[in-house]
Structure 1
């Protein structure tokens, strides 16, 4: 039996592939648990520096697998809250882990798949990629799993309302025009681009990369420019105390690639 989450780690890069192609990689309890546990486990794994998130087959992730979800009326309020938290914790872990996450999105990214895409740091999409907040089309609200947090901050309140209030699909060209996708291209090209982006990230210092993701996340909610600049000041001073900073400066002066040690 194939792993429902295929994990390949090599050279500082983790490639995670949602591996339920026969169900369009819909999130059943087992896949949700595997994703949550993996991302939560990354918090202190310094050997993994970048994550590439992919979906096997025709689609990235079609959302929650409704065929394996018991009706809420059977579970009750307490039971459904546990289910809700078990899935939303994936997105919280993705934002809290210090490793940048690059998602390659083809086909459908609906509901929970949309949330996975938005919780990533960089999104690359194929021309057939389609994303939507499908929750509102099955008797729920359009706000779930962090989508109503991420989307307005990324595209503005009017565009976010357009998609969250209707459940309409956003195609790849609209996503690219709104800045949600960094690039639109065939799948094989995007997989190469994801690897190239990860390679560029690996050429930074481990500390600098982690702190940059942290600062980008906190800056979204910062109360003022002064608060952001104060955080940046402290991060930069912290980096200057590392051996890697001294190596980076020396390599720049000597016009050679730096050899970072992670210290």
Structure 2
């Protein structure tokens, strides 16, 4: 596998392919602009999330960038327009971007970000919206909002980053606007692992394949519990939420199949029911 978008779709802002059963690969396809995000790309990300929410065949979403970048953030050509927009127009544009990232994060299926290069601004926020981040040595992460007169409270970054790496580290990165390189990202838990660039998508695919091999319902309920309990107020409330999920899953055909397969010493055949 390669990290470039298919050559037969050179004008696509977001190229969506199915490299393996159950696995969807979305490639941001503006390599000459380091995959800087436009209004159109945000709309396509939102549409992708909406379509996957209704697609029972999709089990994992992988997101990467074409060429040498993950995403350089909001496209500067479009950013030049921002000071001239009315407050209402700016709010509509911001809310459109927010809907895209909320939609990606809210997917019932796991999302893996294969970060092949710079992830800046909104690109950093998009990587954070994924459940798992795998990086190439060339990956970098930067929230440089404060350097251009904006807030790091953008597209969920101020909520997600402290929960991923801790409040103190998140504050230092956001308030200085400095760049975090791949080795540091691994040290602080921002990414799960760093692999050679030529193996990045293969490594992400290995993770996706491992997920696809598990119970679909079990994976979805696990993601739901992990996300829900980031926002819950107490240990007791978290356990209560977990208990409800476990009770529901014991009623599924997949649970019975898993137990039967264990007894019969064979791989389970999950159906998602």
TM range (shorter): over 0.9
Distance in 1 between residues matched to 2:83 and 2:202, nearest whole Å: 46
Q: Are the equivalent residues in 2 in contact too, given 1:106–1:187 (CA < 8 A)? A: yes
Instruction: Tell me the residue number matched to 1:205.
Output: 215
Instruction: Choose which of 192, 195, 199 in structure 2 pairs with 1:189.
Output: 199
Distance in 2 between residues matched to 1:35 and 1:64, nearest whole Å: 14
Work out whether 1:82 is the aligned partner of 2:92. Answer: yes
Instruction: Choose which of 33, 44, 57 in structure 2 pairs with 1:47.
Output: 57
Q: TM-score w.r.t. structure 2 length?
A: 0.93
Q: Are the equivalent residues in 2 in contact too, given 1:95–1:217 (CA < 8 A)? A: no
Work out whether 1:151 is the aligned partner of 2:161. Answer: yes
Instruction: Tell me the residue number matched to 1:7.
Output: 16
Unpaired runs of 5+ residues, structure 1, are: none
Give the superposition deviation at 1:186.
1.2
Give the superposition deviation at 1:39.
1.2
Q: Are the equivalent residues in 1 in contact too, given 2:143–2:174 (CA < 8 A)? A: yes
Instruction: Choose which of 239, 242, 249 in structure 2 pairs with 1:232.
Output: 242
Work out whether 1:172 is the aligned partner of 2:182. Answer: yes
Instruction: Tell me the residue number matched to 1:257.
Output: 267
Instruction: Tell me the residue number matched to 1:127.
Output: 137
Give the superposition deviation at 1:70.
4.8
Structure 1 segments, 4+ long, off by >6 Å, are none
Instruction: Tell me the residue number matched to 2:115.
Output: 105
Give the superposition deviation at 1:234.
0.9
Distance in 1 between residues matched to 2:250 and 2:87, nearest whole Å: 51
Please report the RMSD computed on the Cα atoms of aligned residues, expressed in angstroms: 1.2
Q: TM-score w.r.t. structure 1 length?
A: 0.97
Unpaired runs of 5+ residues, structure 2, are: 1-9
Q: Are the equivalent residues in 1 in contact too, given 2:138–2:197 (CA < 8 A)? A: no
Q: Are the equivalent residues in 2 in contact too, given 1:50–1:100 (CA < 8 A)? A: yes
Give the superposition deviation at 1:160.
0.8
Instruction: Tell me the residue number matched to 1:94.
Output: 104
Instruction: Tell me the residue number matched to 1:218.
Output: 228
Give the superposition deviation at 1:117.
0.7
Instruction: Choose which of 57, 63, 73 in structure 1 pairs with 2:73.
Output: 63
Distance in 1 between residues matched to 2:112 and 2:95, nearest whole Å: 24
Deviates more, 1:61-70 or 1:96-105: 61-70
Give the superposition deviation at 1:153.
1.1
Q: Are the equivalent residues in 2 in contact too, given 1:51–1:102 (CA < 8 A)? A: yes
Give the superposition deviation at 1:71.
2.6
Instruction: Tell me the residue number matched to 2:171.
Output: 161
Q: Are the equivalent residues in 2 in contact too, given 1:5–1:35 (CA < 8 A)? A: yes
Distance in 1 between residues matched to 2:113 and 2:72, nearest whole Å: 15
